[in-house]
Amino acid sequence: MKNINFVGPRYIFISISLAMIALSIIFIFVRGFNLGVDFHGGTSMSVSFNNLEMTPSEVRGIFSKADPIFKNASISKLHNLVTSGTQAKRSLFSLTVGQFFSPTQKDKFEATVQEIAKKRGENVHFESFQTVSGYAAAGLRQSAMWASIVAGIALLIYMAFRFQFVFGVGALASLIHDLVITAGLYSIFWITFNSTVVASLLTLLGYSLNDTVVVYSRIRENLKKMRGKPMDEIVNVSINQTLSRTINTSFTTFIVVFVLYLFSGPVLRPFAFGMSFGVITGTYSSIYIASPILIGWLEKRRRKVALRR
């Protein structure tokens, strides 16, 4: 088995990670997140037109005439939609606006849009219509925050029982690394941040911790088998012994979530985005953050044990 030196340049990779974390924090606090309807409140809808050459600017013209607030709406063309039971294709668009529509307002608005579109020779269909009040959005944000806190505490309790304190510190550093960088990517690329994103981040924490636990278990075994060997050698051998398992699992998972990102709709795409990049950061942190960070702690503990003897 080829022995790759992972821990030798560990300070270089730790420095790169710190720079990425700093950049992510800057974007998160300065730019913030592109909050979805469920976190911000407002209305999200999918509409289709029989005109395959329809552009977002033309859609904006129709909808802003029905309600001026759509002049500042977020509008994007998704793909051509094949209607059920026929082979006819329609152009599909996603629209998001920060306004709450009651059921009565919704029906009136849809009728107005269809009337305006008909005058322009267009045929519009409302495929989906989701609206969330500001009060409900605040409740969802609070629920997401508590879910994240409870999940984080549960993971730390698990690490405390499974390993010693020093291993828990390395695992915590790895989880913070993955969470901050992945969340920063949502701010950098201005990807919609909604409740499905919270689900992807929590899934990512569990996935990343699973990788870390596998490596840590091997390190703990090798501490007994390779007693007397330099600590960096023990950690490096452990990483190499679990490398094929880590790469195979991460690669197959990445293929699935990346394909999901490419072909999914606007609802699942933010989730798939976080999982795609999260798998990469999780694998990276297990190798270059969680494991090398143990070396100094374990060396210090070894010296203390030697002094006691």
Structure-token pair, residue 18: 């710190």
Alpha carbon distance 222, 234 (integer Å) = 6
pLDDT for 153 beyond 90: no
196-224 tens-digit pLDDT:
888 888 888 888 888 888 888 888 888 88
* Mean confidence (pLDDT) of the chain: 82
CATH fold, domain 42-132, is: Alpha-Beta Plaits (3.30.70)
- The per-residue b/e assignment along 214-229, b for 16 or more CB within 10 angstroms, e otherwise, is bbbebbeebbeeeeee
Q: Which amino acid is at 104?
A: T
User: For the structural domain made of 10-36+136-308, what CATH number should be given?
Assistant: 1.20.1640.10
The whole-angstrom separation of Cα 82 and Cα 93 is 13
Domains of the chain by residue range: 10-36+136-308, 42-132
Task: Give the three-class secondary structure for 96.
Answer: strand
pLDDT digits (tens, 9 = 90+) for 90-104: 888 888 887 778 888
Q: How confident is the model at residue 27 (pLDDT cuts 50, 70, 90)?
A: very high
Q: Report which of 74, 19, 33, 26 is spatially closest to residue 273, judged by C-alpha positions.
A: 33
User: What mean pLDDT comes out for the span 173-190?
Assistant: 90
Sign of the dihedral through C-alpha 41, 113, 75, 279: positive
Nearest partner of 204 among 168, 262, 250, 140, judged by Cα: 250
Q: Mean per-residue pLDDT for 179-195?
A: 89
- Phi, psi (deg, nearest 5) at residue 127: -80, -35
Query: Tens of pLDDT along 224-281?
Result: 888 878 888 888 888 898 888 888 888 998 999 999 888 877 778 888 999 999 899 9
Residue 139's Cβ-side half-sphere holds a number of Cα atoms within 13 Å equal to: 5
Instruction: Please compute the mean of the pLDDT values over residues 81-95 and round it to a whole number.
Output: 68
User: Which one is predicted more confidently, 263 or 132?
Assistant: 263
